Structure 1
Amino acid sequence: MHGTTGRLLLFSREREGARLMTLLTHLKVLDFSTLLPGPFATLMLADLGADVLKVERPGTKDSWGVNQYLNRSKKSITLDLKQSESIESVRNLVTEYDIVIEQFRPGVMERLGLGYGALKSINPKLIYCSITGYGQTGPYKDRPGHDINYISIAGLSGYSGTKKDGPAKNGTQIADLAGGSLHAVIGILSAVIHRERTGFGQAIDISMTDCSFALNAISAPLNLQGGLELEPEKLMLNGGSFYDFYETKDGRYFSVGSLEPPFRKALCEAIGAPELYELSMKSDKESGIRFKTAVRLAFLERDFHEWQEIFAEFEACAEPVLTFTEAAEHPQLKERGMIVEVPDGKGNVQRQIACPIKTSVFTPEYKHAGLEPGQHNAEILHTPNR
């Protein structure tokens, strides 16, 4: 086997083997989390093959209408943790589970007798992940908050948005997902590797504010080493250059990220003004303002779909700002299989976002959409389903 042909054949054989296994089938996860950060983390683990058991309060309702996605492929039991028999059920379950994920305020699980110390005494190999807004320590540890608060405290909102309109209002939950969910999964999987090498579990303290603060990855050095105050529309990537969104004639928007010279040249050609390239390459502030103004006026001359057709022919790092409905139908995302049909357990299917992780040895199995809370009470707790 040589070159591309050999690699494709190897990939095909690996994918064939993937039908017989998934990546994390040896892991059992006990999930006490609610809302978004924890459930999205355990969704990722379930998509990767882990056996996830969701523990919910009796009477829990899908008030957001999203739990059938977030609880995909998970089993569900209901327990009232204020009752001693429920605490005993958890302690019994922990003997056979690898990972516990909880999202209560600091101290709640300890008061219930379900903190890391108590459960570690039952299962020394237990990996115990706590996700909170501010972490298990510090003056804010008991303070309530939401995504918008965490990214504000973390400094992300301080240099996002515009000087005129203030901080940007994000359409997705940066602290919850990029901060809480993804860092929790990274921490858990690193703990799994540590346990395989040493035989010991550990406690993981995920602060959504800490993890959001870490997302200042590109801009932080400008401040910490260079002393630059981070402000809206001051940096290359936050509106201080032509790297920005541009309104079209019909009120839609295009994103322009043509930073490198070849892409910048293609941008000028696409908007019908190749002479602007020399202006774009000048580093003084006045030239930058003149170039950005010219690009803004050019985009206002044509409709959204006209620009789509034009930029389809140019590699200029200029792409349309799509609605979610449009994104779900985009040929790139369709080719990548990012929308899947998942059985709902009632003879129907639901369209959901697919697992985004693709490997040569793994194919996700979408067992079912999120089930009614307590659907596995009889199987696991030997009590009636609720």
Structure 2
Amino acid sequence: MQKNRPLSHVRVLDFGHYLAGPLAGMMLADFGAEVIRIDPPGGPKWKDPAFDMLSRGKHALTLDLKSAAGREMALELVRRTDVVIENFRPGVMERLGLGPAALRQVNPDIISLSLPGFASTDPEFAGLAAWEAVIAARTGQFTDMGLNRRLMGINPSFTPLGLASAYGAAFGTMSVLFALNARGRMGGDHIEVPLASALLEGLVYNCEKVEDYPDRYKSPREQELERRAREGLPNDLSFDELSEFLDPFYRTYTCADGRGFYIVSCSVVNHPQRVLEVLGLGDLLKELPDFDVYVDQADWPADWALRSYPVGASDRRRLSDAMKAAFLTRPSHEWEALFGAAKAPATAQRSTAEWLTASHALAAGLVVEIDDPRYGRMRQMGNLAWLADDPGTMDKNAGPEADDFQDDLSRILKETPRTSSGDKGKGGWLDGLKVLDLTNVIAGPTIGSTLARFGAQVTLVQPVRPSVDPWNAVVFGLHAQRGKESILLDLRSGAGQEAFWRMVAEADVITMNGTDQQRASLRLTENRLKEVNPRLILVQLDAWGGPRRGPKSDHLGYDDLAQAATGVMTRFGGGPKTPEEHAHFGTIDALTGYCACVALGAALERLKVTGQGGIARAALAAAGEMIQAQFMYDFDGRREFDEPSGRTARGWGPFYRCYAALDGWLFFAAPTGRDTALGRVPDLSDLVGCEADLEEKLSERFAQKPVAHWTRAFAGSSVGVTVLGSLHGTRDAGLQLESKGKIDICKATFRAVRHDQHPMGRWVDLVAPNAVRPSQAGITIPGPAPKYGQDTRKILLRLGYNNAEIQHMIDTGAAAECWSQKYLPE
């Protein structure tokens, strides 16, 4: 175990198996925690190179938890441990004598984390065998999967990405760290993070529903879907036909070398201009409309504006055609360098295998190389969150061999057992933490909105004149800005700067999304932060940053670009010729915000021990690796990257697949004990041992009876069978009205809130913050997002300005109270 790391004083028992639990344990080990992986006799259940990657930096100990001796050894370790992680089905740890009450009896200050598939208190889902795809299917991840698939009439669509485990691991890891930080004030805690709840939260932007949503914010694809529904037309577009509905500044182009090049340069002032200038199409700018879009569309001088998504129908074709021709004049690597230097967000499309050998990924430490005793030189995903000045971040040890831990075990057992030090206080883990939020769009604001649920006081600082259009700032902000207060300042003015640094002096944490160059332009350097307050923590999130500098470190980027660069889009689309964005808004954005919270949790824990602040980091590219964790490794002799991909994917094979039942679609998951699974059901028992055409035969059998029949047939077994839900259906089934008072977030797996008294003047449905369920700490359900600038006067008064000074700042443009007359311009 390395000393002087952020978590080198923390010991973790990792009972996790498969993906979510081991992933959480790996994140803690990557910060220097001493993580002990507990294996059953016979070794880990998941024997895969990915599991070895997730075991890096851990010790391994084999214990038979079904025996009295094994349980007693486990409890002896718990007495000397800070954190316990497990992701068994609900009730398993209790049956083993290691449930939360038993753990707390031997160590009152233990922080225990449970990561079940569905909530243990959910009478409908708690007993369902929660394989990754079963969670995804029931929540709605495979249904209506993106605008492309809907327009092509493809439903359902399967994806092998472990989104539920990734979101759950990030929520779980941040919660453990926040609970550790508050332990002296609040004592130990048991935390449950149902993976399905985490998945719904991670896909919140696909569940958002706004009453009478204005047409101006609907993309051409959304409008085409509505037109076809209105006119009774089928959704039967071909992939090529879809290009007519893609925005010129939000799509893939083909370069001279045949590689796809993806740009996401819409919605932000100057980004479309930069794109056209890089492509040599600057003359077009004189012909394109550009004006303030924070007014109602009825007051626009043209049908679209260059700074607002989407491009209008009058210019969409000619822009796309001109850009297609321009991209064909250079190879993708030249365009990547030119776009990066011009600060125009874009990237070449790559496969996962290509990303693992990409020069930037390796140079920046987003991909690391480890000498593994089984696989030789192994490339694998790097840290998913890190501290900028942690010297051990890049030091990785290969996964453990079982039972190599005996000397350390003897040392641990000689330690004095932990004694209770917590005061058993009430409230949230982050009560009193003052956060200054400088972020925009989705990923960055997710940090502050997440911290607010745990008690942090979050102040959002935005510019006097918006740099992002209302679709990104207001529509996405309905969720991302909940629980905050809002001030508008011009940080380019002297008065705005002075007010800003007064806020910095009072803050405990600053959050920003931007590159190192952008951070330097705000003068938020490490030295300056130390001068203002050596305990201050800056949380920095960007697209391509890593523990080290790389050739793309200062390139700009967004969620979709991380998908394109790390291999998500080529996998989902089925290959380099047909890449598709992965269906869901914020697939990586929200996760990166959660990972940034993990980094903050580690920084807070180090601050508690050493008094040292610093810079906590996360990146979209790292989160893009995290959602592909089970594939994000390579070595000589690795089996082919052959996971399910493309538009026709329905699953991994006959025992892990979407099937059409008599009355709808279901997911059937029996990856282990396959013959036993078939043998227990009379309708299928004759297929035991069948090899030929099994997928076809199972398709015929499942189609003969309704979904309910099959769920009853496999109930109580290790086989997971569930109806394919939809995200909107899952949201609506768990919907509660804000006007009715207290929102119940503790029992059911899925909960959503209708903010029916929203200051926007429309109701809005949003997923409730119920992925994290502590036993002791409180969770705050934040109120509606503020109108930008609504708290400017209040905040300036708090900073010591008088009313005359505040009015002068507003009159001179150093501060402002709004961007638009309406909350949401129509």
Give the TM-score range, shorter chain. Answer: 0.7 to 0.9
Q: Would the aligned equivalents of 1:160 and 1:231 in 2 still touch at CA under 8 Å? A: no
Alignment partner of 1:176 is 2:165 = yes
The Cα of 1:330 is off from its aligned counterpart by 4.1
Alignment partner of 1:368 is 2:356 = no
Tell me the alpha carbon deviations over residues 30-65 of structure 1, each in whole angstroms, 9 at most, x when there is no partner.
Answer: 111011111111111011111110001122256221
Aligned to 1:190: 178
Aligned to 2:16: 33
| 1:294 maps to which of 321, 330, 334 | 321
The Cα of 1:228 is off from its aligned counterpart by 8.3
1:100-179 to 2 correspondences below 5 Å = 100-138=84-122, 139-155=124-140, 158-160=144-146, 162=148, 163-164=151-152, 165-166=154-155, 170=159, 172-177=161-166, 179=167
Alignment partner of 1:56 is 2:39 = yes
Sort the Cα spacing of 1:245 and 1:194 in 2 relative to 1 into closer, same or farther, 3 A: same
Aligned to 1:5: none
The Cα of 1:331 is off from its aligned counterpart by 4.6
> Secondary structure in 1 aligned to 2:398?
coil
> Secondary structure in 2 aligned to 1:35?
coil
Alignment partner of 1:215 is 2:202 = yes
C-alpha distance in 2, partners of 1:226/1:220?
A: 15
The Cα of 1:174 is off from its aligned counterpart by 1.8
The Cα of 1:316 is off from its aligned counterpart by 2.2
C-alpha distance in 1, partners of 2:91/2:289?
A: 56
C-alpha distance in 2, partners of 1:146/1:299?
A: 47
Q: Would the aligned equivalents of 2:37 and 2:58 in 1 still touch at CA under 8 Å? A: yes
> Secondary structure in 2 aligned to 1:340?
strand
Sort the Cα spacing of 1:298 and 1:174 in 2 relative to 1 into closer, same or farther, 3 A: farther
Sort the Cα spacing of 1:287 and 1:106 in 2 relative to 1 into closer, same or farther, 3 A: farther
Tell me the alpha carbon deviations over residues 107-155 of structure 1, each in whole angstroms, 9 at most, x when there is no partner.
Answer: 1111121111122111111111011222222211221244444345445
The Cα of 1:354 is off from its aligned counterpart by 2.8
- Structure 2: gaps of 5 or more residues: 224-244, 291-302, 305-310, 412-826
C-alpha distance in 2, partners of 1:360/1:319?
A: 25
C-alpha distance in 2, partners of 1:308/1:154?
A: 37
Q: Would the aligned equivalents of 1:32 and 1:100 in 2 still touch at CA under 8 Å? A: yes
**Worse overlay, 33-42 or 82-91:** 82-91
C-alpha distance in 2, partners of 1:27/1:121?
A: 20
Q: Would the aligned equivalents of 2:12 and 2:36 in 1 still touch at CA under 8 Å? A: yes
Sort the Cα spacing of 1:360 and 1:267 in 2 relative to 1 into closer, same or farther, 3 A: closer
Tell me the alpha carbon deviations over residues 285-342 of structure 1, each in whole angstroms, 9 at most, x when there is no partner.
Answer: 5236525743674377455446446545543212111233443454543442333344
Aligned to 1:6: none
C-alpha distance in 2, partners of 1:197/1:215?
A: 30
Aligned to 1:263: 271
The Cα of 1:183 is off from its aligned counterpart by 0.7
> Secondary structure in 2 aligned to 1:76?
strand
The Cα of 1:27 is off from its aligned counterpart by 1.2
- Structure 1: gaps of 5 or more residues: 1-18
Q: Would the aligned equivalents of 2:356 and 2:367 in 1 still touch at CA under 8 Å? A: yes
**Worse overlay, 116-125 or 168-177:** 168-177
Q: Would the aligned equivalents of 2:356 and 2:380 in 1 still touch at CA under 8 Å? A: no
Aligned to 2:566: none
* Equivalent position amino acid for 2:346 in 1: A
Tell me the alpha carbon deviations over residues 192-220 of structure 1, each in whole angstroms, 9 at most, x when there is no partner.
Answer: 1221222x211111112211211234454
The Cα of 1:375 is off from its aligned counterpart by 2.3
Aligned to 1:75: 59
Aligned to 1:14: none
C-alpha distance in 1, partners of 2:254/2:13?
A: 47
Sort the Cα spacing of 1:143 and 1:291 in 2 relative to 1 into closer, same or farther, 3 A: farther
C-alpha distance in 2, partners of 1:41/1:80?
A: 23
> Secondary structure in 2 aligned to 1:55?
strand
Q: Would the aligned equivalents of 1:355 and 1:364 in 2 still touch at CA under 8 Å? A: no
> Secondary structure in 2 aligned to 1:132?
coil
CA RMSD of the aligned region, Å? 3.6
Larger radius of gyration: 2
Aligned to 2:349: 321
C-alpha distance in 1, partners of 2:132/2:361?
A: 27
> Secondary structure in 2 aligned to 1:104?
coil
C-alpha distance in 2, partners of 1:132/1:228?
A: 39
Aligned to 1:203: 190
C-alpha distance in 2, partners of 1:287/1:137?
A: 54
**Worse overlay, 31-40 or 318-327:** 318-327
The Cα of 1:25 is off from its aligned counterpart by 1.5
| 2:251 maps to which of 234, 244, 248 | 244
> Secondary structure in 1 aligned to 2:262?
strand
| 1:44 maps to which of 27, 32, 35 | 27
C-alpha distance in 1, partners of 2:133/2:220?
A: 17
C-alpha distance in 2, partners of 1:234/1:295?
A: 24
Tell me the alpha carbon deviations over residues 336-377 of structure 1, each in whole angstroms, 9 at most, x when there is no partner.
Answer: 23333445469x764443324342542226362112223225
C-alpha distance in 1, partners of 2:214/2:199?
A: 20
Sort the Cα spacing of 1:310 and 1:342 in 2 relative to 1 into closer, same or farther, 3 A: closer
> Secondary structure in 2 aligned to 1:66?
helix
* Equivalent position amino acid for 1:185 in 2: T
Tell me the alpha carbon deviations over residues 162-184 of structure 1, each in whole angstroms, 9 at most, x when there is no partner.
Answer: 1214566556422211x111111
Q: Would the aligned equivalents of 2:362 and 2:368 in 1 still touch at CA under 8 Å? A: no
Q: Would the aligned equivalents of 1:160 and 1:168 in 2 still touch at CA under 8 Å? A: no
* Equivalent position amino acid for 2:174 in 1: I
Sort the Cα spacing of 1:294 and 1:130 in 2 relative to 1 into closer, same or farther, 3 A: same
* Equivalent position amino acid for 2:61 in 1: I
Sort the Cα spacing of 1:156 and 1:108 in 2 relative to 1 into closer, same or farther, 3 A: same
Q: Would the aligned equivalents of 2:369 and 2:377 in 1 still touch at CA under 8 Å? A: yes
C-alpha distance in 2, partners of 1:289/1:337?
A: 39
* Equivalent position amino acid for 1:49 in 2: G
**Worse overlay, 83-92 or 286-295:** 286-295
Sort the Cα spacing of 1:293 and 1:146 in 2 relative to 1 into closer, same or farther, 3 A: farther
Q: Would the aligned equivalents of 2:252 and 2:260 in 1 still touch at CA under 8 Å? A: yes
Q: Would the aligned equivalents of 1:78 and 1:377 in 2 still touch at CA under 8 Å? A: no
Q: Would the aligned equivalents of 1:342 and 1:349 in 2 still touch at CA under 8 Å? A: yes
> Secondary structure in 1 aligned to 2:115?
strand
**Worse overlay, 204-213 or 364-373:** 364-373
The Cα of 1:274 is off from its aligned counterpart by 3.8
C-alpha distance in 1, partners of 2:214/2:169?
A: 31
C-alpha distance in 2, partners of 1:326/1:83?
A: 47
Number of equivalent positions? 358
C-alpha distance in 1, partners of 2:105/2:159?
A: 43
**Worse overlay, 26-35 or 155-164:** 155-164
Aligned to 1:10: none
> Secondary structure in 1 aligned to 2:176?
helix
> Secondary structure in 1 aligned to 2:182?
helix
* Equivalent position amino acid for 1:92 in 2: E
